[in-house]
Structures are given as C-alpha cells and as structure tokens.
Amino acid sequence: VSTANYKAREYGIHSAMPITKAWELSEKAAEEGEPPVVFIGGSFHHYAEVSKKIFKIIAKFVPIFEQSSIDEGYLDLSFTGNYAEAKKVVKKIQKEIKIKEKLTCSIGIGPNKLIAKIASDFKKPDGLTVIRDEEVEAFLEPLPIRKIPGIGPKTETHFQKLGIQTVRDLK
C-alpha cells in the first residue's frame, strides 16, 4: 500500500502495509457491513506534477523552504516575525492549494522542524496546529513515543520493555 485515505485507515489499512493484508482488512470490514475499500493503481508521474505545482504555490508565499519528499516540506517562516503572521501566511497557502489543486494540506508551525513536523500530523486532513516556544514541553510530554520521527516499531518495543510509553517517560 503506497497510501491510504482516512476511511481506509479506520479499517487498519496504512501505507507500507502488504496489499494482501490490506485486502484482508477490507474483506473483514465488508463482512461487518462496512463499505468495501477501493484499490486503485497509482500514477507517480501525476503525483510528481501536482507536487511541483504545490511547491510553486508555496514559493509565492515563502522565500525559503525545503522539500523533504513528494508531499512534505519545511517552510522557513521566520521572515513573518511572529506566530500570528506565520499562521496568516500558511492559511493563504492552504486556501490556494485547495482552490487550484482541489487538495487539502495539513500544516504544523513550531519553533523548529521537529515540532512543526509532529504538529502537522495533529489536525488531518486540512489542519493547522501552532505550537509556540512556551508550549513545546506541554505539547510533547503526553504524546506516545512513536510520534517522534525515527522511533519505529522496534525502538518502540525496546522502550516499552523499559517502561517508556510517552515522551514524558522518555524525558
């Protein structure tokens, strides 16, 4: 599975899952009366074209950004001077992407890339989460350690054996 929408995720289907497992979960959901999952082929060429268009939109509003993957990037919003102005800029970006590409995007604003990345996952789809400097600790502490980029299933299992479940425990 290269990607899964939010409805498919409700069935337990997620990206990087073997397609046979996704099919099993889809069949199980259908047996329980849920709508079946629709499996479609992808078009990397099309995705790349749309990605270019989206990053052109971003470039209109933000002078410095780093594209980290086909559908993710880090925007340097320091030119805005404060979080309120940064929020105005990214709302304009979200609006233009929705109008021109008919897509939503979720954005996190924070004092650094790590916090912004974690914040971007909070209000999907089409969300905006702002974490100010003084809010970072309170934001991170209750989170499961898996929310930290780079902590995968094996590391999580290792930490769980040590009694570490949350960022607060890790701290």
Q: Mapping DSSP to helix (H, G, I), strand (E, B) and coil, where does residue 77 land? A: coil
Q: Contact at 8 Å (CB) between 128 and 90? A: yes
Q: Do the bridges between strand 72-75 and strand 107-109 make them parallel or antiparallel, or are there none, so unpaired?
A: unpaired
Question: For 149-153, which contacts have Cβ atoms below 8 Å and span 24 or more sequence positions?
Answer: 149/114, 149/117, 149/118
Choose the catalytic residue: 10, 34, 66, 72: 72
85 is annotated as an active-site residue: no
85-103: burial string, b at 16+ Cβ within 10 Å, e else:
ebbebbeebbeebeeeeee
Q: How far apart are CA 130 and CA 136, in angstroms?
A: 10
Burial (Cβ within 10 Å: 0-12, 13-18, ≥19) of residue 149: exposed
Q: Contact at 8 Å (CB) between 144 and 152? A: no
- Residues serving a catalytic function are 72
